Amino acid sequence: MNNVDLLKKIEENDDKETDNRIKLNIIDDNKFETTAIESLGFSFIVCFIIVSIIHFTGLTALLAPFLSSIPVPYITLATLGASFGIGEFLRRLKQKIFKDKEKLKSFSKAKTEYEKYEEEVSYKIENRKLLYRTIAIKRAIDTGKIVDVEQVKGDMSAKRLLTKEELADITLSKLNEELDAKDKELGDLTTKQILNENFKLARNFSEKMEYNMRVNMFALFTLLPMILPNVLFEQIAAPLTPISGTLLLGVVLSAFVGSNVYFFKKIRNTKKLFNKLNSKLGEKGLSKKISFNKIREESESINYEIANTVNDMKDIIIKIESQKEYIKKLEENDNVDALEKVKVRNLGKNITREYEEESDLEEHQVRARR
């Protein structure tokens, strides 16, 4: 088996997979979840630095006369606001330094979070397909065998019978069509696999509740910086007033409202994309709702189908390479036959020329005798 073409395909698949992985990383860097966590992380660091400077440098006593008339929540909110503002500035600065947006715009037209999500999933599906294609090719190479391929039969009722070479080319074309059909089947199965792995949120109620809990915990985590200023300035600031208390409560509620708005948008986008991709599968699509226990069974079934399809692709690839070798031998035999015909033709010409020369010589001798 000639492995040069197959090895070249593996190299092409690896290059595409690497390129897609880079794009996935860039998309991830520009997602709302990533930018929010980065901004929050910078904010925590800034808040900790501000509070540490005030506490360890003795500025608390210096600021006491100015802060004694200001309720603690106002100081807390001011510290929190400054921290988040500086944190967001640092995130944007980091994004500008590493040119995250420019990198995204170089290959993506996505503007909304849904469009970014759709691109992300499409690259995941493509990478998974490339992985399985490479596995099929590598298995074909590992066998290292040549098989006898059943050739297409010629039509005996046709005006002109096809040659062996023409029938071999038709057989190769049919094998390529079989491989394309299996590749399409692999694409559908890969889509199902990604939908099974990444879209539990759109199909399972318990997954939604768990995700909602994580989102609200994250919202609570964002309010942790409020604790440090409260502890630091509680003794020197003015006591809590109804207005300042209401304002502080409003901030807490806003964090939870904002997290739940994000949660419902996430659910909506996930369902929308799931329905879009699933509808393309037609009757082979997944159910819109599934119990937690059935998810694993569904995954095992899909994995089994993929394993069979990859194995079928391996067998077809072996047949294709074997057929190419067969065609190559036919061409070599044709070249040998053509060369033999040329030799025979040249030999015939030489014999004829020698005969003519002998005839001319005899005729010349006869004339000389006369």
Per-domain boundaries in the chain: 4-145+160-369
Contact of 80 with 254, CB cutoff 8 Å: no
| Mean pLDDT, the chain, whole residue set | 83
Q: Got the DSSP string for 162-204? A: PPHHHHHHHHHHHHHHHHHHHHHHHHHHHHHHHHHHH-HHHH-
Amino acid at 168: A
Name the pLDDT band for 243 (thresholds 50, 70, 90).
low
Q: What is the pLDDT of residues 257-267, one digit of tens each?
A: 888 899 999 99
Residue 65 corresponds to which tokens in the numbers above? Answer: 């006369």
The lowest-confidence range among 14-28, 83-97, 151-165, 183-197 is: 151-165
Nearest to 14 by CA among 119, 103, 133: 133
Q: What is the pLDDT of residues 72-81, one digit of tens each?
A: 677 777 877 8
Q: Which residue has the higher pLDDT, 157 or 322?
A: 322
